[in-house]
Chains A and B, each alone.
Chain A
């Protein structure tokens, strides 16, 4: 028989121990906030999205009027775009060497007779430097190409027919931090209970604390449930802190809905049970830590925590669907960012089933006596 009294008393002892251990508390609460602050600071700054591009203007004129300095006008137009910032490089520099010295692959070179050729309607090429593996190179090439077309049209007094208006998935302006918050919440739902349970399961096994507990009426299931409750409490506290910091420090726009509750409850339950399951494999805490990392790290990076899985190759996207954390991150995104209730419900259902299976396995396979 499961006893609420025993779960409660074990919960009391465990949570008190946790709160008295400053290191644990740091990882449980302070670390997620630090993560939000770091990532928020990286991506929420004013210069979001603008790529720095080095440009060398070799055009020599002659320019009778400033209007005839087409090269400078072209660079100013690029600089005024929403995607790139032009940094001028002196003509005395060897341009490719300069790029290498500044660890940059993005550059533009305007040839010497640029304005003269333009005004004479002779073909002239702007050279765009780029690195095919870098995501910024595409932005630079696209922007330069766009403005080249615009200047071409102007030369022949043409008008553009198709225009462009920016829009994002939400009614409000969505920033990277908005996508980041669900990911980082998923991250802390994974790491805190998982690492902790892997560690204490193997540690208690080694120090024979489990043996001792097996001599009391406390059952393995009650022990695990009390840990789950504690990590649910910790997760909700962490969630409030992270969302609070996101909103107040970075002006994030995320929806706080009751649909989040299942994730904040099932998530810690799942990863606490998974941690206990990993802890059953060995009673050497060091080995357990390694196995824990093997299970945790792929999930951390492949389940859409720091970047959306749609940016990954197809086979990795397929793989992501077997990672339990994927359903937490996807569900949180559906609930907080996209407002996709149907998607959220599916994620909750899948998560519920995985949690149940892992919970039963953990309780069945974990032995605290020896044969």
Chain B
């Protein structure tokens, strides 16, 4: 059963097509990652699903509700952490949980929720004295007060240090284990790989790829290839002495050979040895999600340099 159904969703800000006709479904109990550089339309999409923004076109159903028209009813069933979560400065996480419980008219044990989000130690610290990670955890705690079946986490770990990020991941994994449906936006690829069952990669208001990370890598990646450190001469030698497709990366000084079969690697290495030319490190590798991401997301140089560099911080190579 689908928790969310989005079809041909559109949202324009003047001439800017922030979201330009995207469609996807999220199944119950699934962690769905929305990936993309800054300005791709992730937050607009998630805010439309939360009922915080009106759409300009298309259809959206969240737990069977139209989020804009039936927002008030929907909000009782969902939990949300907006981007850069903030709260009343002079309120402690524990007081915040009690406040939300009163607003939702539910009975909760604040200490239990604090424990669930690993925040027990800071239960009585005013919000403005909490660290970035503790603030995000407070947001997570509040999103859980009404025991929602569906959670929206908009960039929950942006700006946090690696330990704090891992702690948040732990909490999200715990929620997933409890069977909650989770929509997660992030521009950290490793975060999506670690947490999401399926991801959609967004760019300029479009979904450019969707599926499990393996599926996306398979569809859009180049497959396994052999890389040999050596000269262009070596590349030419291997090309003319085997029936392999041989490429050369001048910048890295690497001969690259796509491997249709594993045995191709042996042929390539035999040719390299025969050439009598010098060659160094060899490795086989496959495109990682970030290789695919960089390929799919065409970022004009300079304009979104920030997004590109943020993507790199989350890099995780498979070698």
Contacts and interface: CB of A to CB of B under 8 A. Distances in A.
Question: Which secondary structure dominates chain A's binding surface?
Answer: helix
B103 A369 contact: no
B52 A9 contact: no
Given A215-B50, A370-B52, A209 B71 contact: no
A217 B76 contact: yes
Interface stretch (A11-19, A75-83, A144-152, A229-237): A11-19
Given A208-B82, A208-B84, A209-B86, A13 B105 contact: no
A6 interface: yes
Contact of A9 (B72, B86, B102): B102
A207 interface: yes
Contacts of A215: 50, 52, 75, 78, 80
A163 to B, nearest CB: 65
Contacts of B84: 208
Q: How many B residues are at the interface, by size bracket?
A: 20 to 34
B104 A216 contact: yes
Given A216-B100, A370-B52, A5 B90 contact: no
Contacts of B24: none
Interface string A109-148: 0000000000000000000000000000000000000000
Contacts of B47: 370
Interface in B95-115: 95-96, 98-100, 102-105
A370 B98 CA distance: 27
B197 interface: no
A265 interface: no
B170 interface: no
A5 B104 CA distance: 10
Given A369-B51, A369-B52, A20 B90 contact: yes
Contacts of B95: 13, 16
B102 A5 contact: yes
Contacts of B72: 217
A9 B91 CA distance: 13
Interface in B156-189: none
A190 to B, nearest CB: 25
26 contacts: A3-B105, A5-B102, A6-B102, A6-B103, A9-B103, A10-B103, A13-B95, A13-B96, A16-B90, A17-B91, A20-B90, A208-B83, A208-B84, A208-B86, A209-B86, A212-B82, A212-B87, A214-B75, A215-B80, A216-B75, A216-B100, A216-B104, A217-B72, A217-B105, A218-B103, A369-B71
A257 interface: no
A13 B100 CA distance: 10
9 closest A-B pairs by beta carbon, nearest first, are A9-B102, A20-B90, A17-B90, A216-B103, A207-B86, A371-B54, A13-B99, A215-B75, A215-B80
Contacts of B82: 208, 211-212
Interface residues of A, number: 27
A176 B84 CA distance: 53
A20 B103 contact: no
Nearest to B74: A215
Given A9-B99, A218-B103, A209 B87 contact: yes
B53 A369 contact: yes
A21 interface: yes
Nearest to A19: B90
A233 B53 CA distance: 36
Contacts of A5: 102, 105
B9 to A, nearest CB: 15
Given A211-B82, A217-B72, A16 B91 contact: yes
B76 A13 contact: no
A370 B53 contact: yes
Contacts of B78: 215
A4 to B, nearest CB: 11
